[in-house]
Structure 1
Amino acid sequence: MKSLLEITKFKTQSIPLSKILLGGENDLSGYKYALMTGEYLRPSSRVETSPHSQLLLDYIKHKDKVLDKDFFEKTAYFKNAQTCIDLFGGYFPQIDTDETIYLAAERFIKLFNKEDVSHLPSEGHSKDGELIEVIPLKNSDCFQLLQGNHRVAFAIANNLSHIKAKVNIRKQEITPIQFLLENLLWEQGEKILYQPLPCPELESHWVLARNCEDRFSRMKSFLLDTIRIEPRYTTYLDLGCYYGWFVSRFLSIGFEAYGVEKDNIPIQIGEIVFTNTKNKIFKNEIIRFFKSSNKQYDVVSCLSIMHHFMSQREKRNPQELLKFLDKYTGKILFFEMGEEHEKWFSNSLKGWNVDTIEEWIISNTSFTKSYRLGRDSDSQGVFAGNFNRMLFAFVK
């Protein structure tokens, strides 16, 4: 008979598979396992992407070829089992060498096919009908998988949408991405994303402030279609790049892209989530960066930074920043800043609008042409009455 503690620790419910994210191995939380392995994005990954699900999906597509040595040893399932053996001494009891990992995979596939597995090691495997165990994620509508990697993979491979689970109602877990976000200096604990992060655990409780895609598409179109720049011969620098969303996107279309960011936490977040920004972001304050730099960049973006200098949130001279923008931009400056129509800045930026911003930059720099590329789409929801800023392209 179950104890009262056991009964009150769990509740049973049907959960959408899309809301279950990967945990660790060997009863470790996803957070602790990520710290041990360096797989920081694993706890932010849906179970459909797990090594276990991918092996069955590969089997459905390739059949018995998945157990061929050349194929199998390249699978995430094999590599995941190797990691468990290295860390814990075994994947399952009797599965403690590279050679025996095949036995675990063979048993897994045969169970999926409802074939006899009595001749294969069973110790450590769950009993038929045993429910998976999950733990709610803090400030999220997602759950972390604690027990049941193989059972969840069966459900994924069978195209099920939900699975019955034991939910631990006495605990909550957190992902590495959540931990980093909650310790950001800029947000001060607010659940706001200033650039998109494609992490499922953030979708329900975190608010996206800046869409970014609208501004990027305009910059991309201006560079490739209007100016006709060749990306592979063009350097790009994003100032105050934060997670590095724009850096990542410009890298993805062939630019030699870099960023400047003074806070190491968003840099870490970007390196985990985007993967291509590692060693592409200079950790520095913008003015200090320019003072130590001797390199021009063909394209520079200065997005929503200047008004912090003007309002003295940053204890720097806006004219000094403008001077450096002129000096270190080789060809094109993408620029936006807060404007007087925004509720936030109706007093502190009074008089600053598209006309005065444009005139100020053209009159005080060597840029000769200005293009108004359009306003952002971020003035909605809790941000209604703010944003809706003009994106400029200034050209030499």
Structure 2
Amino acid sequence: MPGIQQVRRKSRAVLRKSGLAPSGPVYGRLVDAGRSLPIPASARVAVSTAVLRRPWKVPVRFDRLLVGAQGGWTAREFAERTDDLLWPSTPFLDGPHVALLRLADEVPGLTDEQILESAYGRLGLRCIKAGGNYFGGTDEAGVLAAARAFVARYRGEAGPAEDEALRPQQSGPQDPVLVAPVRGSDRYQILDGHHRLAIAAMNGADGADVVAKWLPVTTPLQDLLLKMSWLDGTHELYQPIGAPELESGWTTVRQCTDRLAKMDAFLGERGIAAGRYLDVASCYGWFVARMAERGFDAGGIERDPLAVPLGQAVYGLPDGAVATGDAVEFLGGHDPARWDVVSCFSLLHHFVLGRGPVSAEELIRLLDRATGRVLFFDTGQDNEAWFAESLRGWDPPRVERFLREHTGFDEIVDLGPDEDARPPYEDNYSRHLFACVRTA
């Protein structure tokens, strides 16, 4: 029953955006909150051990682990304090703890400068700068002491663990390595035990038996994606994002690489290798990043302000690369032919269906006006199950006629369909990409 499914989808979206659903943004904070309760640490650990932890150990491969809590803060708190959205998305084997031990193997006589310049040294200094300490250290000397003690343990140069005085925040030799499952994925976030796991990994182990909490956590990246306006709280990616916790349980709806390959080939044939580029409705900013890599002065316009920090984090977009606001107002507020190359994907059909502030004809005229040389364009079509009735008649020939009738381009070239018609959307997409060319 499509009606019931639509109601369920909308209700789930409301819960997720409010943060109350198990995968919503507030859920992760509630899971983290126990660590911040104003009760003695010993009491908090006792409650956690008795209620929140599974009473048995589980085997976990190191390549399934993500880095987590640091400096006495949860992974989320540390990410917020250091403005590092992707810290909790970092694979453990690519993290600073393993990296320091690899460096120690390569450079037996590590200098202070090498340690402080390493990812591990920077991690310790970030903890201090964020307003805390690093295993009791509050300056470079403290970070160096922690790093050298860690390397000494790895090399077997330290005394028995039972005889060593524990540093602040350091776990005891009998404490278990503690992890939490990451919701919607096959990964685990490390809550305690980064150093012990790093030593085990560098000694040749490919996994460890750990204690896992019952309740899963979410990463800040997952939380941000679930708040994006066009996702309705679903586990879907509209553009590719390379994050381990998104590899399973999250569907990449738009492949994007298929469109980019067609764009690359066409621009190459026409000898267009640089210039200004604009992506209209740029989503996370994937096309902006890829075109910038190709040498274009690339930018985007996107209605959702959350797209800006997301694109900066996952694609490394600079400040100002993506503007936020209404695409119609943005296009109308700039000079004609300001951009050499413009792209606009999957936007026009919303205007055809009456969801835009102007008509579909006015939108395409604005895109025409903005384009100096080539407009790459696609839109929803009637071959798609969800548009079979509402967009009846909007097949590729109709789209091409629409472009010819309402723009002044010299050529309209059909570059073929996208490759997004795959499960669970095998009955949708296959939208044709058009290159609209101005030759004069």
TM-score > 0.5 by shorter chain: yes
Instruction: Tell me if the contact between 1:92 and 1:123 (Cα under 8 Å) persists in the aligned partners.
Output: yes
Of residues 241, 245, 251, the one that matches 2:282 is 241
- What's the counterpart of residue 349 of structure 2? 307
Of residues 320, 323, 328, the one that matches 1:282 is 323
Instruction: Tell me if the contact between 1:248 and 1:277 (Cα under 8 Å) persists in the aligned partners.
Output: no
Of residues 64, 70, 73, the one that matches 2:116 is 73
Of residues 91, 98, 103, the one that matches 1:53 is 98
Q: 1:3 to 1:126 in 2, by over 3 A?
A: closer
Instruction: Tell me if the contact between 1:241 and 1:259 (Cα under 8 Å) persists in the aligned partners.
Output: yes
Question: SS of 2:343's equivalent?
Answer: strand
The equivalences for 1:229-268 within 5 A come to 229-231=272-274, 234-268=275-309
CA distance in 2, matches of 1:40, 1:9: 26
CA distance in 2, matches of 1:278, 1:220: 25
Of residues 404, 407, 413, the one that matches 1:362 is 404
Instruction: Tell me if the contact between 1:301 and 1:334 (Cα under 8 Å) persists in the aligned partners.
Output: yes
Instruction: Tell me if the contact between 1:193 and 1:206 (Cα under 8 Å) persists in the aligned partners.
Output: yes
In structure 2, give the amino acid aligned to 1:102: L
For 1:34-62, what per-residue CA distance to the aligned partner results, in whole angstroms no more than 9, with x for missing partners?
11111111011111122111111222233
Could you tell me how far 1:86 is from its partner in structure 2?
3.3
Instruction: Tell me if the contact between 1:19 and 1:143 (Cα under 8 Å) persists in the aligned partners.
Output: yes
The equivalences for 1:150-165 within 5 A come to 150-165=195-210
Could you tell me how far 1:162 is from its partner in structure 2?
1.6
- What's the counterpart of residue 68 of structure 2? 23
TM-score, normalised via structure 2 length: 0.83
1:272 aligns with 2:336: no
- What's the counterpart of residue 40 of structure 1? 85
For 1:102-148, what per-residue CA distance to the aligned partner results, in whole angstroms no more than 9, with x for missing partners?
22212211211222347986534434464311112233322211111
Question: Mind listing any 5+ residue stretches in structure 2 that lack a counterpart?
Answer: 1-44
In structure 2, give the amino acid aligned to 1:361: L
- What's the counterpart of residue 260 of structure 2? 216
Question: SS of 1:382's equivalent?
Answer: coil
In structure 2, give the amino acid aligned to 1:274: Y
1:86 aligns with 2:129: yes
RMSD between aligned residues: 2.2
Could you tell me how far 1:204 is from its partner in structure 2?
1.8
- What's the counterpart of residue 167 of structure 1? 212
Could you tell me how far 1:336 is from its partner in structure 2?
0.8
- What's the counterpart of residue 372 of structure 2? 330
CA distance in 2, matches of 1:3, 1:144: 21
TM-score, normalised via structure 1 length: 0.92
Could you tell me how far 1:258 is from its partner in structure 2?
0.3
Instruction: Tell me if the contact between 1:134 and 1:143 (Cα under 8 Å) persists in the aligned partners.
Output: yes
Instruction: Tell me if the contact between 1:251 and 1:276 (Cα under 8 Å) persists in the aligned partners.
Output: no
Q: For this pair of structures, how many residues does the alignment match?
A: 388
Instruction: Tell me if the contact between 2:403 and 2:412 (Cα under 8 Å) persists in the aligned partners.
Output: no
Question: SS of 2:341's equivalent?
Answer: strand
- What's the counterpart of residue 271 of structure 2? 228
Instruction: Tell me if the contact between 1:297 and 1:328 (Cα under 8 Å) persists in the aligned partners.
Output: yes
Question: SS of 1:196's equivalent?
Answer: coil
The equivalences for 1:90-239 within 5 A come to 90-93=133-136, 95-117=137-159, 122-124=166-168, 125-128=170-173, 130-169=175-214, 171-223=215-267, 225-231=268-274, 234-239=275-280
For 1:63-83, what per-residue CA distance to the aligned partner results, in whole angstroms no more than 9, with x for missing partners?
32xx22332221121111112
CA distance in 1, matches of 2:63, 2:308: 28
Could you tell me how far 1:24 is from its partner in structure 2?
2.6
Q: 1:108 to 1:4 in 2, by over 3 A?
A: closer
CA distance in 1, matches of 2:326, 2:405: 26
